[in-house]
Amino acid sequence: MKVHLILVLTAVLVLSVSCSQSASYQLSVSKSDSIRSGDKLIELFTLVNGNGMSVKVTNYAASLTDISVPDRQGNFEHVVLGFDSLKYYLGKHPKLGATVGRFANRIKNAEFKLNGQIYHLEKNNKGHSIHGGAKGFNNRIFETDTFYTVKDTAIVIFKYRSAHLEGGFPGNLNLSVAYKLTNQNEIILEYTATTDQPTVINLTNHSYFNLTGCKEPVLDHIYRINADSITPVDSTGIPTGEILAVAGTVYDYTTPQRAEKRIRKMGKGYDVNYKLNRYSDSLELAAIVVEPISGRVLKAYTTEPGMQFYIPNSNMDYLAGHDDKKYGRYYGFCLEMQHFPDAPNNPQFPTTSLFPGEIYRQMTIYKFETISE
């Protein structure tokens, strides 16, 4: 079995092909829907590339709502969990496709010290702060800055101003989130931010991928993660401060593996931060995921030092997703590019501090390909 999985990954690396289609498509970006929430307008944008791949994004939480890509036979299907109607994003759901901040993941005891001052945050997860609190960026309506095409890329840019002490975080933060779709079947996420006071920042995207076309659980996907270690956590999800080697554990995806047996062994899903193997400050490969039946492949690249690998075991059948599909248990996986959880309270971790005059920059790329049988 292990040899077979390695051969599959080799096929990904050697035989990957772009999703060429017989039909002719034109690169485009357009506003495709809108609704009002109070006095604010929530808009939906559709980006299409020259291969027919399409992406939908909204200024509500600067969210990625849909990705449609072909399988090896050229059949297009949704590969992220999401809704067909904007109104459902205003209701209960597990942050589908949302931009998460000001601080993605957890901060211990919902407090941190910066420049000698202690800041208190909202306790919204077992006495800790998670994802910026109950009113984090995933519940905010961003402004649509612009949308356009240039050369081989369709672009939508959202902006948001997070006021001083919003969620308890210091400084007025000016944030820009750009979504770009290229003719190379890449979705590029670019984040930039500035502050007028010392603060901390940790942003990510919370998309749940499912390369089966969102028809089956993701346990039989084949995962490889470019990381030799994780940041282990206590019973409440807070890092212990250690760096733990994954070799010989259920967290070892340095070679391609299915997740099903490991999840059954653990009795739960994955929710763990990987310390990515990095050799520069530029984009590096973080993970490769293969769905062998459809032939779809997702390659994830990032400038971030960490990645939260998340396969929740909670049942999402209360959600009516794309095409009215009912999402079940283990129906999505997240590759959340980030700095480490609770970094403000762990000086040995890469810093998440941002100071006036500095520019926070982050780039993540999700690239879709197919492999032959």
Closest residue by Cα to residue 274 from 313, 236, 246? 246
**Distance between first and last Cα of the chain:** 17
Tell me if 100 sits within 8 A of 206, measured CB to CB.
Answer: yes
Residue 245 has a CB neighbour count (10 Å cut-off) of: 12
Alpha-carbon gap, residue 66 to 318, rounded angstroms: 19
Confidence category of residue 24, pLDDT binned at 50, 70, 90: confident
DSSP-derived secondary structure for 94-127: S-TT-EE-SB-SEEGGGEEEETTEEEE----BTT
Q: What is the pLDDT of residue 1?
A: 45
**Can you read off the two tokens belonging to residue 89?**
């994003």
Does the active-site annotation cover 120? Answer: no
Any bridge partners for residue 17, and if so which? 370
> Greater confidence, 232 or 19?
232
Q: What is the pLDDT of residues 337-361, one digit of tens each?
A: 999 999 999 999 999 999 999 999 9
Residue 250 has a CB neighbour count (10 Å cut-off) of: 15
Q: What is the pLDDT of residues 362-373, one digit of tens each?
A: 999 999 999 998
> Greater confidence, 110 or 6?
110
**Can you read off the two tokens belonging to residue 276?**
């990515």
Alpha-carbon gap, residue 340 to 231, rounded angstroms: 8
Residue 246's CATH number: 2.70.98.10
Look up the domain containing 215 and give its range. Answer: 2-370
Q: What is the pLDDT of residue 23?
A: 63
Which residue shows structure tokens 């992220």? 80
Query: Average model confidence (pLDDT) for the chain?
Result: 94
Alpha-carbon gap, residue 264 to 313, rounded angstroms: 11
Q: What is the pLDDT of residue 17?
A: 41
Q: What is the pLDDT of residues 235-261, one digit of tens each?
A: 999 999 999 999 999 999 999 999 999
Which residue in the list 78, 128, 131, 206 is annotated as catalytic?
206
Does the active-site annotation cover 4? Answer: no
The whole-model pTM stands at 0.93
Q: Cis omega before residue 262 (within 30°)?
A: no
Which residue in the list 166, 186, 304, 336 is annotated as catalytic?
336
Tell me if 347 sits within 8 A of 117, measured CB to CB.
Answer: no
Domain count across the chain: 1
Q: What are the residues whose beta carbons fall under 8 Å from the beta carbon of 281, sequence distance 6 or more?
A: 303
Of the listed ranges 63-67, 144-148, 323-327, the one predicted with least confidence: 323-327
Burial 257-293, CB ≥16 within 10 A → b, else e? bbbeebbeeeeebbbbbbbbebeeeeebbbbbbbbbe
Confidence category of residue 163, pLDDT binned at 50, 70, 90: very high
- Residues 281-310: what's their mean pLDDT? 97
Strands of 63-70's sheet in order across: 28-37, 40-48, 54-58, 63-70, 76-78
Whether the predicted pLDDT of 4 surpasses 50: no
**Can you read off the two tokens belonging to residue 241?**
């401060």
Whether the predicted pLDDT of 208 surpasses 80: yes
Angle at 183 between CA 186 and CA 7, to 5 degrees: 55
Which residue shows structure tokens 């283990």? 330
Whether the predicted pLDDT of 2 surpasses 80: no
Whether the predicted pLDDT of 266 surpasses 90: yes
**Can you read off the two tokens belonging to residue 94?**
């597990």
Which residue shows structure tokens 């449609």? 68
Whether the predicted pLDDT of 78 surpasses 60: yes
- Residues 74-78: what's their mean pLDDT? 98
